[in-house]
Amino acid sequence: MKENEGGQGQTSNAGRSGESQYSRRRRPVASIGRRSQAGTRTMELYLLLHSVVMHAIAALVILVYIPVCVPARLLARALVRPRRKEDLRGKVVLITGASSGIGEELAYQYAREGAYLALVARRKQALKSVAAAALERGAPDVLVLPADVADPAQSRRAVEETVAHFGKLNHLVANAGIWSSCSFDQVTNIAAFTKLMDVNFWGSVYPTYYALPHLKASRGKLVVSCSAAGTVATSRMAFYNASKAAQLRFYETLRTELGSEVGITILTAGYVESEITKGKGVQKGGEVAVDEDARDAQIGVFPVGRVETLCEVALDAVRSGDWYVTWPSMYRPMQLVACLAPEVLSWVSYVLYKEEAAKGSRPLGQRILEATGAKTLFPPSLLHPVVKTD
């Protein structure tokens, strides 16, 4: 009996010893679990604190800053802005996408102000024609630089040759762009649509990268030809909208990095007279061509502004150091709607642009355009479009 009792005691001691070792092994795991839970609770409180702070800041901005800032800005715009416009005489301006449309008209506007010009585009003969017209309008000298800004090496060469020729660079106008208008599910050659990002985004970023040191040295300006499509997403332009949104966010970020070293003015134009609104763009099969029917389906009920007016407004804003230019002004409330009530914009876009394939119907916006005869209100250059080829 004693032996059994001793054996039972040994077994009991061994069990307690095993339990003790097991408890010691489990204790660190339990401790880690408790620390993890405590860390999670701390992080949740930290996030909650930031959420409360950010909502409070937003409330202050809406209730205090905006009511004070808006009247002050309007007053400054009326009294101060006219006195601090930049004198462009003798300034050196490099414009990409200068062979037509907005780039061409901006070249003429800068020429009238006495600026030296470096014009960049792929079409050499078209550039030469723009250069000759710019000289007639008052540009002291114009440098023609045929180049594809979607190629970083050619962008670098364009900037270097401009600085070598003129000795400085004051403004870079990043204007090169290409369009597309078709529903995503109509695309038959998806690989071809990388061209929109190559031209619209990288075709701005590359020349900016190489020009930036020279712009810093002259405390110059970047002028970016973006689009209202970067903030207002409408149907049939998925690739174009995406490329312009990327471009917009890039330059807004760059502005936060540069501060006052280099001014940045971003043009968020709506439909304006150009080769884009003549119908030139990447088609559903991937080829670049003019399709007036696709253009009419896209523009629909919206008016098309004159390029001369846009560029007058844009250059005035550039000279004044404005951050944004949205023209025609009807697109400003659209941007507000896109921010505050995106579901409304989405529904309107769906209704205006949806094609009922089963009925062979054109989009509603295009049918309204045709039924009302509003197309006759287009600028004359869009009624019988001629696109430069060389």
**CB 206 within 8 Å of CB 256:** no
Residue the block writes with tokens 């295009």: 366
For residue 385, whether the previous peptide bond is cis, meaning omega lies within 30 degrees of 0, is: no
User: What are the angstrom distances between the C-alpha of 165 and each of 114, 118, 176, 223, 344?
Assistant: 17, 9, 22, 21, 52
Which phi and psi (to 5°) does residue 167 adopt? Answer: 85, -5
Residue 96: C-alpha distances to residues 164, 207, 352 (Å): 17, 9, 33
Number of C-alpha atoms within 13 angstroms, CB side, residue 307? 21
Please, which residues bridge with residue 171 across strands?
93, 221
* Count of Cβ atoms closer than 10 Å to residue 111 Cβ: 24
Taking only Cα atoms into account, the Rg of the chain, rounded to an integer number of angstroms, comes to: 30
Inter-residue long-range contacts of 33-40, CB under 8 Å, 24+ positions, other chains counted: none
Between the alpha carbon of residue 168 and those of residues 90, 94, 110, 219, 307, the distances in Å are 11, 10, 16, 11, 28
CA distance 361 to 149: 39
Residues with Cβ within 8 Å of 103's Cβ and at least 6 positions away in sequence, in order, are: 95, 96, 97, 119, 121, 173, 175, 176, 225
CA-CA-CA-CA torsion sign (242, 358, 285, 383) = negative
Catalytic center residues = 240
Q: Could you give the CA distance from residue 245 to residue 235 in angstroms, rounded to a whole number?
A: 15
Whether residue 360 contacts residue 72, with contact meaning beta carbons closer than 8 Å, is answered with no
